[in-house]
Chains A and B, each alone.
Chain A
Amino acid sequence: MSTIAADARLATRTLSRARSSVRLRRYLRNAGTLVLSAVIVVWTLAPLYNMVLISLEPEGDVFTDHIWPRVPSVESFWGVLTQSHWYLEHFWHQFANSLFIGWMVTFFALLFGSLTAFAIGRMRIRHGWLVSNAALLTYVIPASFLAIPFYRIMQNYGLANNPWSVIAALVAFATPYAIFVFQEYGRSIPIEVDESARIDGASPPQIYLRIYLPLMAPALVAVGTYALLLAWNEYLYQFLLLSSKANMTVPVALAQFLSSDQSPWNYMMATAIIYAAPPVAIYYAFRRRMTSGLTMGGVKG
């Protein structure tokens, strides 16, 4: 009798102890993830905080060792927008250059990419696979390794210090991806659509314009975003190929700030934030589509 009662008591005690140890472990794990989350937040945001901190400094007060903005001032942002500092006298012009290069790269990558994908995937040109395979080889050689010969070639063509040389390089790098995505996406559109149009007497350009492009709209938007961001984020080719202040883009101007010792750092950081804002907005607007794009290529065979 008594032994059974003792056993039962022991059992409940071990049970409650086990339960409390489970609770403890869960509590510790929660605490662990919280600590890790805090570390990730600090790690991710420190360089961004640094940008904001410096951009909020009033002029001439940048190099003092404090970690909070003491007298926050938006003077530097205003200065960038009104081009009030001599370092920034071409800011809007350079911003327009960046936009121009971005839009042109987007336009030509979409145009050449969709034309090529149409000919290979829809019209099924002989040896078309050779073109798309060769195009993908572009990505085997790092772009920076081609920068020096590319620069020489552009000089020979008389395109040095010309935005079109940058556009040419970036179109060459963006189009293979466009062709690839358009072909993959085009598979979901039945070829019978094209065939019925052909029976109705439509010529290939008509099929391309009236049927193919409207049906490809989602892929065009996705690749267009990609090409725009590629051009916006590129630095090396713009740095090498655009040398005059009037033809420069914002990244090149930003890097020029670094090379001088008397640069107005608050203006530099304000410029950096203004330049970074559009792509960040685009990323967050298209976040779901971008991650689903990742799953498409990265995981599916």
Chain B
Amino acid sequence: MSSVQQVLAAGPGALNRLRRSVWRRPRHGPELAWAIAFVVPYAAVFLAFVVYPVAYGLWMARDPSLYRELIANPLYAQTVVNTALFVGLGVNVKMFLALLLSGFFMRRRWWIKALLPVYILPWALPSIPAFVSFHWMLIGEEGFVDSVLSAVLGIAGPLWFRDRWLALGANIVAYIWKWMPFWTLTFYAGRTAIPQEIYEAAAVDGASGYRRFAHVILPLLGNLYLVCTLLSTLWTIGDFTTVSLVSEGAPSYSTDVLATLGIHYAFEGAQPALGVAAVMSALPVLIPIVILLMRALQTRETQL
């Protein structure tokens, strides 16, 4: 969903501009009929495959007793903790490292320039092969990580998917590995958009290293960082693939997140309504994030 993020990142401004032009010149007659005919195919897709599933999902999860059943199961509380850790740690560590690394890639050394195409490989790779490989690296003593541990350090590595915290950590690491390059490139683009004169002025004033980061880069990239973090949080709450392929929820569903728990309930437990309720219980978190995001986008517009 990489490019999707830029839609929201640039959205409202574009739409406001559009709205002005719309009111200027409305059209009528046969042209209007054609215009409507052109919009109908997408409108039909939107109604049938977006609006209808949303409404159907809300209808499926309408019964309050579902939520009582959900909360009564200790698995749910555990899953909420896992989701909070997966999203909270995964997104924030990834974003912060991406911000730092974007500065690293700004340096003018030939080996750093050569490193960038290698570094974006995880982003270019489809998630399924990547996460299958992560699963296999950590499969146990025959996995690659434990083989390296025993060959280099001579110690027996742990059984990663037998321990809840190790398995959760593996999910987070795989997630960071996959998505950090994309956000690094985003921040890299943000840094290149900062006029060179500002860096030079800061250098003349004697700001370098940490002080340049704190007083020049953070204020200038702060809003971009906020918008990206909110977007990434939104997407990561709905992330199914990472957990479903890396730890597979092992050991015994203790590393599930809400997205995978919902699918487990619906397809292994044959309780689809409960599954929908499990994911819908994330709405109280999702909606404030969306509102915050809209606000952050608006302040960015007045800033620029």
Contact = CB atoms under 8 A, between A and B. Distances in A.
Given A126-B22, A148-B60, A298-B224, 15 more contacts: A33-B112, A41-B118, A50-B136, A64-B142, A66-B147, A66-B151, A67-B151, A124-B21, A142-B234, A144-B263, A148-B262, A151-B272, A172-B50, A269-B136, A283-B124
Interface stretch (A70-78, A80-88, A114-122, A213-221): A114-122
Given A47-B137, A293-B6, A299 B190 contact: yes
Chain A: interface secondary structure? helix
Contact of B239 (A41, A116, A125, A144): A144
Given A119-B38, A148-B272, A232-B126, A50 B238 contact: no
Contact of A298 (B14, B19, B186): B186
A224 B21 CA distance: 27
Nearest to A168: B49
B38 A116 contact: yes
A51 to B, nearest CB: 5
Of B4, B107, B286, B303, most A-chain CB atoms within 10 Å: B4
B129 interface: yes
Contacts of A153: 52-53, 56
B148 interface: yes
B203 interface: no
Interface in B246-290: 248, 259, 262-263, 266-267, 272, 275-276, 279-280, 282, 286, 290
Contact of A44 (B34, B118, B137): B118
Interface string B13-41: 11100110110111100011011101101
A267 interface: no
Contacts of A49: 144
Interface string B95-124: 000000100100101011001011111111
The 9 nearest A-B residue pairs measured at CB: A142-B238, A297-B6, A272-B129, A283-B124, A172-B49, A119-B38, A149-B57, A63-B142, A301-B304
Nearest to A175: B42
A294 B112 contact: no
A145 B282 contact: yes
20 contacts: A33-B111, A33-B112, A47-B133, A48-B121, A49-B144, A63-B142, A65-B150, A123-B38, A124-B27, A136-B8, A139-B8, A142-B238, A145-B238, A145-B282, A184-B10, A226-B3, A236-B263, A275-B128, A296-B10, A299-B193
Given A129-B19, A301-B13, A172 B272 contact: no
Interface residues of A, number: 112
Interface stretch (A11-19, A89-97, A251-259): A251-259
Contact of A145 (B120, B142, B259): B259
Interface residues of B, number: 114
A206 to B, nearest CB: 10
Interface in A259-301: 265, 268-269, 272-273, 275-276, 279-280, 283-284, 287, 291, 293-301
A235 B245 CA distance: 10
A50 B32 contact: no
